[in-house]
Amino acid sequence: MSGKPERYTIGLIQMRCEPEPAANMDKAIARLQEAAKSGVQIACLPELFLSPYFCQREDPTLFDLAEPIPGPRTERLAAVARQTKMVVIASLFERRAAGLYHNTAVVFDADGTILGLYRKMHIPDDPLYYEKYYFTPGDLGFRVFPTRFGKVGTLVCWDQWYPEAARLTSLKGADVLFYPTAIGWHPSEKAEFGQRQHQAWELIQRSHALANGVYVAAVNRIGHEGPAGGGLEFWGASFISDPFGTVAARASHDREELLVYECDPKHLEDVRRHWPFLRDRRIDAYGDITRRLID
Amino acid sequence: MSGKPERYTIGLIQMRCEPEPAANMDKAIARLQEAAKSGVQIACLPELFLSPYFCQREDPTLFDLAEPIPGPRTERLAAVARQTKMVVIASLFERRAAGLYHNTAVVFDADGTILGLYRKMHIPDDPLYYEKYYFTPGDLGFRVFPTRFGKVGTLVCWDQWYPEAARLTSLKGADVLFYPTAIGWHPSEKAEFGQRQHQAWELIQRSHALANGVYVAAVNRIGHEGPAGGGLEFWGASFISDPFGTVAARASHDREELLVYECDPKHLEDVRRHWPFLRDRRIDAYGDITRRLID
């Protein structure tokens, strides 16, 4: 590590998303200000927090929700970061050009400058998660951002199922992987599969913490969106895993919450010394990872 | 899938390893025969089951434990496979040449032929696990074996911490990943860290099942080996995970057991349809996985 490692406090803002973007922006700003008052130094909002999860249907008018980056909304968020001296990670629907859109995480440093963007690399397309219609897969690769308080990596939702994404972001030096997320249950499936689905989601992300010796912080929305009996019930359960895959903090399934946790670079160093997985990687033998199937 | 997928039954032989190789061979053969009578079609023995876990110390005389493959011991195991019409996966200390040794899994098809070898790719070296002294890292890469009953991949112990190993073996078409293992607690650490260590070990392997949509079957030894108060207490807890990362069967921490489970290719197909992670891998962006660190 360079210099003396200092502890820093991260905060996850688990929220319900209202119908109107303006209301969500106001709520997010208020929560960010509360987080700063609670000592949070790096705060992360859920995926696409400015609107209901519009990917439940394919509708060309919904591209109106997208915005340029930088733009008026990133200016508002930048002002909050600057005012609170807090790093802010915000997931936005990016309009890059006419007909070209991304699902993008913006990282604001504690002085309000945009450190950079991460454009969601893995895009799902499953019933009620029709993201391939809206988002072009990211072309910026896997990214880390040297914020004032710590070096963080950003990944988004569906990325969480891919060990490669966590590995590459960690190899770039991330100490924390943030996963803004919008995942929930299909109400008709919840009774039979709901618990296993949530557990799988937590498990795969804890495994990234463990395999790479990094903190993982996943922040989800809550609430039901869509028609009664249909739609999606977002399962909340935002959580933070320590570098040994232990859940250090976990939010409820159904309440708005601020999850606060202090990350300790010394603990990360200690875990990696005792479980030195990075030492023994067979990089001479991993080349076929870039194949679709080895058939 | 080619042809009509049929279910098949796998069996994990969790055992205590005695001081003498001959006794362990006799025990293993007896257990394999019992497994076959229980309907097991693919059986797997723990890592280096023929002896105590000798890697607790570095001693050149212990290379005498190694054996050529094929050799007298593989002939005995081949006879059991042939006699029981069961696939057998056996982890052996391979003497490849003077001064060149591997930690090797041998896969016998149900007719007793050796389908092939897997030489442990990731070799640990940690207090009481001094494997780098004994084993040259494998040079056969990641492997799958089309047995009579199913296509299986073999990985060994320390490999289990590496998502790349599971991914590559799965991309080669494995439906089940077998992990012969020898892992245990340092008695002095058990009270404080034991539970978390065991949980991490299970978690990372379940994550491989989930990320790849494959069955995972890990078989460990039990018992304390080494001086009282020191040495290693092998934690057993052999388990089988289904392709969604759910623990389908788990053995105790301290008893010899045969763990039997029926794998269903249709379930595997179903999980992969509902959670189509293989569809969306960003193989254009994974090239840096072959770097030690991206610095």
CATH number for the domain spanning B264: value is 3.60.110.10
Task: Tell whether B156 is covered by a domain.
Answer: yes
Report which of B88, B38, B102, B109 is spatially closest to residue B259, judged by C-alpha positions: B38
Structure tokens at A92: 């936005």
Give A108-153 pLDDT, tens digit per residue. 999 999 999 999 999 999 999 999 999 999 999 999 999 999 999 9
Task: State chain A's mean pLDDT as an integer.
Answer: 97
Is A295 within the bounds of a domain? no
Total domains in the fold of chain A: 1
| Nearest of B136, B130, B156 to residue B59 by alpha carbon | B130
Q: Which pLDDT does position B1 carry in this prediction? A: 43
**Residue-level length of chain A:** 295
CA–CA dist A47, A62 (Å, integer): 16
Q: What is the 3-state secondary structure (H, E, C) of B166-184?
A: HHHHHHCCCCEEEEECCCE
> What confidence tens digit (pLDDT) does each residue in B75-128 have?
999 999 999 999 999 999 999 999 999 999 999 999 999 999 999 999 999 999
Residue A186 is given by DSSP the state -
Could you say which of A27, A44, A47, A263 is catalytic? Answer: A47
pTM metric for this prediction = 0.97
Of A126, A204, A282, the CB nearest to B207: A204
Does A251 score more than 70 pLDDT? yes
Residue A17 falls in the annotated catalytic set: no
Examine residue A79 and state whether it is found in any structural domain, yes or no.
yes
Please name the residue ranges forming H helices in A38-127: 72-84
Task: Check B17, B67, B94, B120 and give the catalytic one.
Answer: B120
pLDDT band at B3 (very low <50, low <70, confident <90, very high): low
Euclidean distance between CA atoms A250 and A241, whole angstroms: 9
Q: Is B44 helix (H, G, I), strand (E, B) or coil?
A: strand
Residues B160-196: tens digit of each pLDDT: 999 999 999 999 999 999 999 999 999 999 999 999 9
**Inter-residue contact A44 to A180 (CB < 8 Å):** yes
Q: Please determine, for the modelled complex, whether the ipTM score is greater than 0.95.
A: yes
Could you tell me the pLDDT band of residue B4, with boundaries at 50, 70 and 90?
low
Residue span of the structural domain in which B228 resides? 8-275
B245·A204 Cβ contact <8 A: yes
In a domain, A292, yes or no: no
Cross-chain residue pair B294–A137, CB shorter than 8 Å: no
Q: Rg of the Cα trace of chain B?
A: 18
Closest CA to B270 of B213, B216, B210: B213
- Number of continuous H segments (helices) and E segments (strands) in chain B: 6, 15
Residue B145 in this model has a pLDDT that exceeds 50: yes
pLDDT(A74) > 80 = yes
The answer to whether residue B31 is domain-embedded is yes
Q: Which residues from B are below 8 Å from A171, CB to CB?
A: 288-289, 291, 293-294
Helices A187-212 and B187-212: angle between axes, nearest 10 degrees: 130
Extract the tokens encoding A272.
């990696």
Task: Search chain B and give the residue with CA nearest A277.
Answer: B161
SS3 for A211?
Answer: helix
Q: Known catalytic residue: B192?
A: no
- For the question of residue B157 being annotated catalytic, the response is yes
Reported as a pLDDT band with limits 50, 70 and 90, residue B5 is: confident
Q: Does B277 touch chain A (CB under 8 A)?
A: yes
Residue A198's identity, in one-letter code, is: H
Mean pLDDT of A163-173: 98
Question: Would you state the structure tokens that stand for residue B214, as one six-digit string?
Answer: 């494959």
Could you report the per-residue pLDDT of B151-163, keeping only the tens digit for each?
A: 999 999 999 999 9
Share of chain A above pLDDT 90, in %: 98
Which chain B residues in 194-233 lie under 8 Å from chain A, judged by CB atoms?
196, 199-200, 203-204, 206-207, 210-211
B24 in a structural domain: yes
Q: How confident is the model at residue A5 (pLDDT cuts 50, 70, 90)?
A: confident
Whether residue A291 is contained in a domain is answered as no
